[in-house]
Structure 1
Amino acid sequence: MKILPTEFDGQSIRRVYDEATETWWFSVIDVVQVLTGSTYANRYWSDLKRKLAQEAGSEQAYEKIVRLKLTAPDGKKRETDCANAETLLRLVQSIPSPKAEPIKLWQAKVGYERMQEMADPALSLDRARQTWQQHGRSDKWIQQRMTGQETRNKLTDYWTEHDIKAGSEFTILTNIIHQEWAGVSVAEHKGMKGLTSHNLRDHMSEAELIFTALAELSTRQIAESVNATGMPENKSVAKKGGRIAAHARCQLERQTGRSVVTGANYLPPGAKSKMGSTKAG
């Protein structure tokens, strides 16, 4: 996945990852602060929002901004205007700042790479594999991560075609599946691993990836067999699919005496302590 840098000139840009839609959301006000250097970034953004709303053709970008709770400097969570990478880059074009040039160059590079990938999809897979290798992941882990992503994509494609809305409804169904197979919610699993804005799947062990894929594969195949449509039917199917993986997980844990669901992560040393596996209960 291509994402924006999360720090400019030593200033961090808050972000949050939506597990269901696999989308990074970035704090707009943080980007405005970095690009303008203004001590009144909130006022600047307020004025810019009014300008965008008045300009022809700008409404679409503005409408894609969402309000999400992010941790403020005082440690409290407050609702903040957030944008995905595509929308954020469009907003950057509206802010006159020499600091925006690196982002615009990045945008051009990513756009060119995307054009290459559309002509040859294999390039996208190759780039993803190279990225994981640079992060020190094993070939076995990389293969399982990519296989799991393909399984995930097939499930979300099914949901989209059967009256499930991307976003909140994807999140609900994803959490049901995860709760059933893992015994903990997505948020609780991330908490075990010491993750905040990170993608949980990027920090799963090989076993966690396998059981996640089994749960999502089972969910899709059951849904297809009964033509599950809409939230009530797909909620029921999500529980059934997750339980299939849960039974397999429990059997493995009884044989090994070790829990599949762990607090281990791939964060850089010093970011968070890397916890080992715990005994199965």
Structure 2
Amino acid sequence: MENIKLFESQKIRSSWNNEEEKWYFSIVDIIEILTDSPRPRKYWSALKTKLKNEGSELSHNLGQLKMKSDDGKFYVTDVADTEQLFRLIQSIPSPKAEPFKQWLAKTGYERIEESQDPEKSIDRAMENYLKLGYSTSWINQRLKSIEVRKELTDEWENRGVKKGQEFASLTDIITQAWSGNTVKQYKNLKGLKNENLRDNMTNLELILNMLAEATTTEISKENNPVTFAENKNIAKKGGEIAGNTRKQIEEQTGKKIVSPQNAKVLKEKNDRLKE
């Protein structure tokens, strides 16, 4: 399960391994934070060579995982678990080393807490979005959209839809049916690259996207699709229902709902409201 963690509002790509019950973190992301290096990959390459020359076994024991890069594609990258990172940090002179160690320890403990009490994961998601400058009303909609999305992907899994390309294909169909844009077109409209589209939607965009996904889930449950083609047809129907709602709202208000506004614009608006 890939995730994004925040350290002092800076993003770190991470992945939770259910079998081992431990986090793995992108080493390049961590080096960028600790060193402020403009070329963290080069820094890491030089540090790996140095560790090997010193006879350290650390660089030999590190793992690799596919993680999303800045261009939106997935590439294999070096990762380390918490214990390995504690050892690695000792080789990186940084004033952020101690607070980062405390952050690492807290992150591991929080994951254990969340597995025992899922409500805590919601509270922490709320906290992270607040740190990024989102309004409380937007965050409430975003958290609800996560729940709706999970119900849809669970339904797809039950119908034999494969994660990855098939999930992406159905999502594209739903998005185009309600918004008039493919996911790629929608992200281009908002000036996004690898950022999450939902994290850059307005409240009304989120609501209509939720309506499209929730409707698709309900239609699927009633129709019990067997083939991928049937799932595609249902995805289109669910999206079109939300699309018709969008058109009715636009007709009554005279305003376009699908907007080029992104997270930066949304946060600036929220900051002005606070002044």
Work out which of the residue numbers 223, 228, 232 in structure 2 matches 1:231. 228
Give the unaligned 5+ runs of structure 2.
14-23, 52-56, 269-275
TM-score in terms of structure 2 length = 0.69
Q: Superposition RMSD on alpha carbons, in Å?
A: 4.0
Residue 5 of structure 2 aligns with which residue? 3
Q: 1:161 to 1:267 in 2, by over 3 A?
A: same
Q: Distance in 2 between matches of 1:268 and 1:180?
A: 25
Q: 1:54 to 1:97 in 2, by over 3 A?
A: closer
Q: Distance in 1 between matches of 2:131 and 2:46?
A: 41
Per-residue deviation, 1:28: 5.8
Give the unaligned 5+ runs of structure 1.
16-24, 72-76, 272-281
Residue 97 of structure 1 aligns with which residue? 91
After TM superposition, the structure 1 = structure 2 runs for residues 78-227 of structure 1, keeping only pairs within 5 Å, are: 80-82=75-77, 87-89=79-81, 92=85, 95=88, 97-98=91-92, 103-227=100-224
TM-score in terms of structure 1 length = 0.68
* Contact 1:177-1:215 at 8 Å conserved across structures: yes
Residue 267 of structure 1 aligns with which residue? 264
Q: 1:193 to 1:41 in 2, by over 3 A?
A: same
Show CA shifts across 1:175-225 (max 9, x none).
111111111111221222222232111121111000000000111111111
Q: Distance in 1 between matches of 2:136 and 2:9?
A: 30
Percent identical among aligned pairs is 37
* Contact 1:151-1:217 at 8 Å conserved across structures: yes
How many aligned positions are there?
A: 244
* Contact 2:208-2:246 at 8 Å conserved across structures: yes
Q: 1:199 to 1:236 in 2, by over 3 A?
A: same
Find the residue that maps to 2:260 and give its secondary structure: coil
* Contact 1:182-1:246 at 8 Å conserved across structures: yes
Find the residue that maps to 1:3 and give its secondary structure: strand
Query: Which of 25-34 and 244-253 deviates more?
Result: 25-34
Q: Distance in 1 between matches of 2:201 and 2:41?
A: 40
The one-letter code of the counterpart of 1:250 is: K
Query: Which of 34-43 and 159-168 deviates more?
Result: 34-43
